């Protein structure tokens, strides 16, 4: 009799648990979907054409693909000029031609082919003109996460006298270093740069680990917001894959608070 | 007769004993079956929990972001109204935009100098010399080692090549290296006075040197085997042939881009 009662309690508890889990999954899914549409609406509201100039003729212009394409190109060029005027090293991502290039004062100093690119759907689902406006100014990097050091500093203590002095050895450049990083922009866009070479299992493992760690961080952030009954933040992203050496060059060249221009 | 009955009795009791043994065997089998069932259920519960957790994690990490990306690809706002395109105002606006586009493109292109310039990569230690906006020479160089030299006192130096845009400020033939303080500290030697003879070293900078500011030079080297590696104290080292070409190509004010 007692056993029967216990088993019933366990069953009920299991059902309640399953229900809670399912309800949470459903709540999380709905909130995540809401976050995407909110972000799209936010882009459209913040960057769409000015309501003052919204005459019937203007509105048609802003929905014309030829006009929008030209606007995008002009915005990209203007953005590169703005970046060049800072005299700093900047990164240009030309997703149209699959090119990533480093520029110093408007001069292209390094160029590489993007072998893989993915932009979040919100970019495509928002108004093209609004997205072009959003990307018409250089994006400012506010933080980064990487698998390599930004400055590969080597600390050395000065010898007390000549007997302690040892001439510098040839630097070891053979060590294994996976190159994957995320650049976070001031307007919330995240740029993921992954090395394209995945010939070694070590590379695959490190890239997967890096990706999972970032996803886990984002999910935890979303959990925290949902616990406070807030809609989680949808973060726009651009993911690219470029050769490892180029990825390293770009990461080490751009300043911590550098700028990026995107042509999409 | 009595004996027979007795024998029968024995038979009956034997039969009864056999039945009860069968019953008890059936009971044990049932018990074993039920135990096995419970064990199996336990295993299944355990494995489903074990599987459920990673599946749940995968769901939150991969499925939810996937669902967020689910939906219509292209923005439907963009249209191509043929009638609208035929309006004279349309052509005028497009022409205006095209003109603006050409203007900004020209402005951007003006940033690239027509004069010769050099680009130096400190990450892969290579240089690229341009003349008339065309690459004319490339090769290996050595740049800063990113060594932080600490002393017991407050003095410290970091040996890195500065990045950005620079200009050739001066050009020297047969340059003499005036050793700075760190060159002595690094070797454990006492720091001599500013113009002490031990500060001057001849022939170590190669045949030419080009100054780019703040004491940084583009010069030659006696350590040619280190070209292509980050080993310097911040200067750019080149081999003799490359240095000669660069010295002859670049002029005062020529731009140097280091990244």
- Which one has a higher pLDDT value, A161 or A100? A100
**Pick from B225, B219, B217, B184: nearest CA to B205:** B219
- Which one has a higher pLDDT value, A255 or B47? A255
d(CA B151, CA B181): 12
Check: CB of residue A96 under 8 Å from CB of residue B120.
no
Domain architecture of chain A: domains with CATH:
2-263 (2.40.440.10)
Residues of A within 8 A of B46 (CB-CB) are: none
Phi/psi for B234 (5° steps) reads 135, -25
Q: Which pLDDT score, from 0 to 100, does residue B169 have?
A: 98
Residue of A126, A162, A173 lying closest to B188 (CB–CB): A162
Domain covering B117-258 in this structure, CATH number: 2.40.440.10
Interface check B74 vs A, CB under 8 A: yes
Domain boundaries, chain B: 83-111, 117-258
* β-strands A180-185, A99-104 pairing: unpaired
d(CA A202, CA B165): 38
Using CA atoms, how far residue B164 sits from A80, A214, B112, B151, B219, in Å, is: 16, 31, 14, 29, 19
Q: What average pLDDT does range A91-111 have in this prediction?
A: 96
Q: What does each of the 259 residues of chain B score in pLDDT, given as a tens digit?
A: 455 545 555 555 555 566 666 767 777 888 888 888 888 888 888 888 888 888 999 999 999 998 888 765 555 455 667 777 777 788 888 899 999 999 999 999 999 999 999 999 999 999 999 999 999 999 999 999 999 999 988 999 999 999 999 999 999 999 999 999 999 999 999 999 999 999 999 999 999 999 999 999 999 999 899 999 999 999 999 999 999 999 999 999 999 999 9
Q: Which pLDDT score, from 0 to 100, does residue B80 have?
A: 66
- Which one has a higher pLDDT value, B92 or A214? A214
Provide CB contacts within 8 A for B241, sequence distance 6+.
Answer: none
Chain B, residues 185-244, CB within 8 A of chain A, namely 185-189, 226, 229-231
d(CA B103, CA B66): 42
- Which one has a higher pLDDT value, A186 or B80? A186
Question: How near does any CA of chain A get to the CA of B234, in Å?
Answer: 13
On average, the pLDDT of chain A sits at: 89
pLDDT tens figures, A37-62? 999 999 988 887 654 455 555 667 77
Q: What average pLDDT does range A197-214 have in this prediction?
A: 92
Residue of A29, A161, A171 lying closest to B145 (CB–CB): A171
């Amino acid at each position: 009799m007692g056993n029967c009662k216990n088993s019933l309690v366990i069953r009920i508890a299991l059902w309640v648990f399953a229900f809670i889990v399912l309800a949470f999954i459903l709540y999380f899914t709905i909130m995540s979907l809401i976050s995407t549409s909110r972000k799209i609406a936010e882009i459209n509201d913040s960057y769409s054409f000015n309501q003052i100039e919204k005459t019937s003729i203007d509105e048609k212009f802003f929905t014309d693909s030829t006009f929008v394409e030209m606007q995008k190109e002009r915005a990209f060029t203007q953005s590169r000029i703005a970046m060049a005027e800072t005299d700093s090293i900047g990164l240009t991502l030309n997703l149209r031609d699959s090119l990533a290039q480093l520029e110093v004062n408007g001069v292209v100093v390094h160029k590489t082919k993007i072998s893989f690119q993915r932009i979040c759907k919100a970019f495509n689902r928002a108004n093209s003109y609004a997205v072009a406006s959003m990307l018409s100014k250089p994006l400012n990097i506010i933080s980064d996460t990487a698998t390599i050091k930004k400055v590969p500093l080597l600390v050395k203590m000065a010898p007390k006298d000549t007997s302690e002095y040892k001439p510098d050895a040839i630097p070891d450049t053979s060590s294994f270093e996976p190159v994957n990083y995320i650049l976070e922009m001031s307007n919330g866009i995240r740029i993921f740069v992954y090395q394209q070479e995945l010939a070694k299992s070590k590379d695959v493992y490190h890239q997967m680990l890096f990706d999972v760690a970032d996803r886990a961080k984002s999910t935890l952030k979303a959990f925290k917001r949902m616990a406070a009954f807030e809609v989680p933040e949808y973060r726009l992203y651009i993911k690219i894959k470029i050769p490892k050496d180029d990825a390293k060059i770009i990461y080490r060249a751009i300043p911590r608070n550098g700028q990026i221009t995107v042509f999409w | 007769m009595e004996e027979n009955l007795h024998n029968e009795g024995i038979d009956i009791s034997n039969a009864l004993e056999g039945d009860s043994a069968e019953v008890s065997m059936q009971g044990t089998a049932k018990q074993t079956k039920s135990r096995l069932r419970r064990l199996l259920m336990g295993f299944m519960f355990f494995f489903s929990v074990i599987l459920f957790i990673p599946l749940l994690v995968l769901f939150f990490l991969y499925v939810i972001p996937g669902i967020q990306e689910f939906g219509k690809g292209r923005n439907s706002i963009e249209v191509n109204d043929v009638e609208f395109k035929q309006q004279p105002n349309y052509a005028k606006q497009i022409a205006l935009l095209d003109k603006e586009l050409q203007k900004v493109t020209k402005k951007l292109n003006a940033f690239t100098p027509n004069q010769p310039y050099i680009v130096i990569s400190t990450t892969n230690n290579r240089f690229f010399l341009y003349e008339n906006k065309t690459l004319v020479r490339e090769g290996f160089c050595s740049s800063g080692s990113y060594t932080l030299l600490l002393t017991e006192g407050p003095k410290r130096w970091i040996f890195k090549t500065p990045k950005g845009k620079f200009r050739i400020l001066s050009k020297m033939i047969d340059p003499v290296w005036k050793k700075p303080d760190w060159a002595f500290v690094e070797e454990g030697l006492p720091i001599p006075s500013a113009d002490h003879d031990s500060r001057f070293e001849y022939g170590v900078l190669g045949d030419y040197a080009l100054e780019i500011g703040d004491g940084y030079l583009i010069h030659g080297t006696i350590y040619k085997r280190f070209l292509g590696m980050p080993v310097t104290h911040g200067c750019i080292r080149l081999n003799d042939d490359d240095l000669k070409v660069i010295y002859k190509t670049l002029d005062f004010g020529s731009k140097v881009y280091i990244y």
